[in-house]
Amino acid sequence: MSDGGTAAAKPDTSGPAPLHGLPLIAMGVLLGMANFLAAFDLSIANVSIPNIAAGLAVSPRDGTWAITSYMVAEAITVPLTGWLAARFGPGRVLSYAMIGFAIASALCGISTSLDMLIAFRVLQGLAGGPMIPLSQSLLLHIFPKEKAGTAMGIWAMTAVVGPITGPIVGGIICDHWTWPWIFLISVPVGAVMAMFCWYTLIPRDPPPVRRPVDTPGLLLMILWIGAVQVILDQGQEKDWFGSSYIVVLTVIAIVGFLAFLIWELTDEHPIVNLRIFNNRGYTLGVLVVCIGFGVFLGSVVISPLWMQTNMGYTPTWAGLASAPGGMMMFTLSPLVAWLSARLDPRILISGGLLLFASIMLWRAHFASNVTMEMIVYYQLLNGASVALFFAPSMAITLGFLKPQEIADGAGMLAFIRTTAVAFVTSVTTAYWQDSATRDRAGMIDRLHGTSALDQLHRAGFQGDQAIHYLDGIVQDQAVMFATNDTFFAFACAMIAGLAFVWLIPKTHRRRAPAAPTAH
């Protein structure tokens, strides 16, 4: 494997020249918003499943297909981004993706049955998938090489703020309006952005490359990705490998993945360029990104669940409690971009992971009487750690690739990151629920033979009233212990991620200008 250091030092001489001044600012905002919209819509439905299920007269369990269908479709098109960009041009693909996203959002909002919603969520996911890696690769192309850290700062900020903002907006909409508006609000935003992309990005597209369609590779990818997503979504519900349904899907996923791997590595025109993993720097960077971002979004899922089940927060307030983290990242991103141009990015990545691990260890000692103020402090520090880690890790990972490999590399990175997030989220949720059940059973065993009920009776509680009161206390403590155990596991994962950071080769960066220039 090559470390890619030389490739990272070469200027990008392919395609149109980087932008400067007001056009650069406008295009940076546009591409950042494209990434934000895709990340935002991925998470906004998470807190809305009970409302969607009630509105469509289905069970909440069936309502989760509104999430799964989107994730499966997105996971399919994300790794295809490199092929689509080369075949049709990145600006054209992004423009059509935004148009399709706006149309699919409108169709989701007017759905009258679960089958309709699932079908239109698939269309929405197919359109949203390319928006994530294309916004990333196009940002790297429009910014001068020495300002790649700034480009990745914009992208990373929107990639993290989107999933945080989604549940907040979704909770507010469900509490005050009706669920279709979680989709309809994306329609005007997507339409306006598509129009600007059409007139600004397509003229900058390089000549298309006529690459044949790798149909077997595409079908194999759909097979194993679909199987994996269904396993992750329904594994907990069906008792994982205690279910023959999950076992069969697992076999399909493994066989399909191995067949896909063999085909893509031997085909002359693969739909996904797996050969970029020959680059050691890129491969290690992908691993670090997946660990950090997967654990971060795992914590983003667990925190609102804990606040609603253990602390009595409404969906709106649980979402608002997460907002300080996004605000802190938004505030620190310019500083991190400035530091990225002057320091070895591995220092910033290590600092972010170390801070993250320390915060998770502190968070693992919370009690049920923790105040909102303490939760806000945790979120602020959490946002600071992600700001230090995410943008530099993305920049250093893609910095090892040649210019013509960036679209493939960004697509593959987004795909693996999305899959890692789905895996971590599923495993974390299952671990959290199992830990709560186990801790509850343990506490009940310890209470047998004690005078706890007698003490409650002497305090004035009557019969079943005392039992219900004690049961409530046991349940709250079991959830609290399970939550703390989960965050301790997050801390251990972050510490393990630190070991891989310094295996990444050092990149050769241009020295940043002595004083900032107007771009």
DSSP letter string over 116-165? HHHHHHHHHHHHHHHHHHHHHHHHHHHS-GGGHHHHHHHHHHHHHHHHHH
Q: Which sign, positive or negative, has the C-alpha torsion 221, 285, 133, 404?
A: negative
Rounded percentage of the chain residues whose pLDDT exceeds 90: 12
CB proximity list for 151: less than 8 A, separation 6 or greater: 28, 139, 140, 142, 143, 395
The string of pLDDT tens digits covering residues 257-305 is 999 999 988 888 787 788 888 888 999 999 998 888 888 878 877 887 7
pLDDT interval class at 67 (50, 70, 90) = confident
The whole-number pLDDT of residue 247 equals 92
Cβ-count burial of 461 within 10 angstroms (0-12 exposed, 13-18 middle, 19+ buried)? Answer: middle
The whole-number pLDDT of residue 207 equals 81
Is residue 361 over pLDDT 80?
yes
Cβ-count burial of 261 within 10 angstroms (0-12 exposed, 13-18 middle, 19+ buried)? Answer: middle
The whole-number pLDDT of residue 514 equals 35
Per the rule left: phi > 0, alpha: psi between -120 and 50, beta: everything else, 413 is alpha
Task: Look up residue 206 and give its DSSP letter.
Answer: P
User: Looking at per-residue confidence, does 194 or 48 come out higher?
Assistant: 194
DSSP structure string for 183-195: HHTHHHHHHHHHH
Q: How many C-beta atoms surround the C-beta of residue 515 within 10 A?
A: 5
Which whole number is the average pLDDT over 109-128?
A: 88
C-alpha to C-alpha distances, 113 to 58, 117, 124, nearest whole angstrom: 9, 6, 16
The whole-number pLDDT of residue 453 equals 66
User: Looking at per-residue confidence, does 508 or 384 come out higher?
Assistant: 384
Which whole number is the average pLDDT over 21-28?
A: 75
Is residue 423 over pLDDT 70?
yes
Radius of gyration of the chain (CA): 24
The whole-number pLDDT of residue 270 equals 83
Q: How many C-beta atoms surround the C-beta of residue 465 within 10 A?
A: 12
The whole-number pLDDT of residue 507 equals 67
CB proximity list for 473: less than 8 A, separation 6 or greater: none
Threshold 0.85, pTM exceeds: no
Residue 97 and residue 224: Cα distance in Å, rounded?
A: 24
Asked whether 215 and 80 are in contact (CB, 8 A), the reply is no
Instruction: Tell me how many degrees the CA angle 451-453-456 measures, rounded to the nearest 5.
Output: 110
CB proximity list for 76: less than 8 A, separation 6 or greater: 125, 126, 129, 221, 222, 225, 226
The string of pLDDT tens digits covering residues 73-114 is 887 787 777 778 888 888 889 989 999 999 999 999 898 888
Q: How many C-beta atoms surround the C-beta of residue 478 within 10 A?
A: 21
Is residue 175 over pLDDT 60?
yes
| Lowest-confidence pick of 191-205, 245-259, 283-297, 320-334 | 320-334
Which whole number is the average pLDDT over 160-187?
A: 80
Domain 5-213+271-437+478-501 sits in CATH at: 1.20.1250.20
The whole-number pLDDT of residue 449 equals 61
The string of pLDDT tens digits covering residues 429-451 is 778 878 888 888 887 777 766 66
The whole-number pLDDT of residue 480 equals 87
Asked whether 183 and 40 are in contact (CB, 8 A), the reply is no
Per the rule left: phi > 0, alpha: psi between -120 and 50, beta: everything else, 15 is left
Which whole number is the average pLDDT over 475-488?
A: 87
The whole-number pLDDT of residue 457 equals 64
Instruction: Tell me how many degrees the CA angle 469-471-476 measures, rounded to the nearest 5.
Output: 100
**Best CA proximity match to 279, nearest among 419, 425, 408:** 408
The whole-number pLDDT of residue 60 equals 62
Q: How many C-beta atoms surround the C-beta of residue 506 within 10 A?
A: 14
Which whole number is the average pLDDT over 129-146?
A: 79
Rounded percentage of the chain residues whose pLDDT exceeds 70: 84
Asked whether 383 and 328 are in contact (CB, 8 A), the reply is yes
Q: How many C-beta atoms surround the C-beta of residue 404 within 10 A?
A: 14
Q: Is 25 helix (H, G, I), strand (E, B) or coil?
A: helix
The whole-number pLDDT of residue 27 equals 77
Q: Give the bridge partners for 279, in sequence order.
A: 2
Is residue 255 over pLDDT 60?
yes
Which whole number is the average pLDDT over 360-371?
A: 88
Is residue 134 over pLDDT 80?
yes
Is residue 456 over pLDDT 80?
no
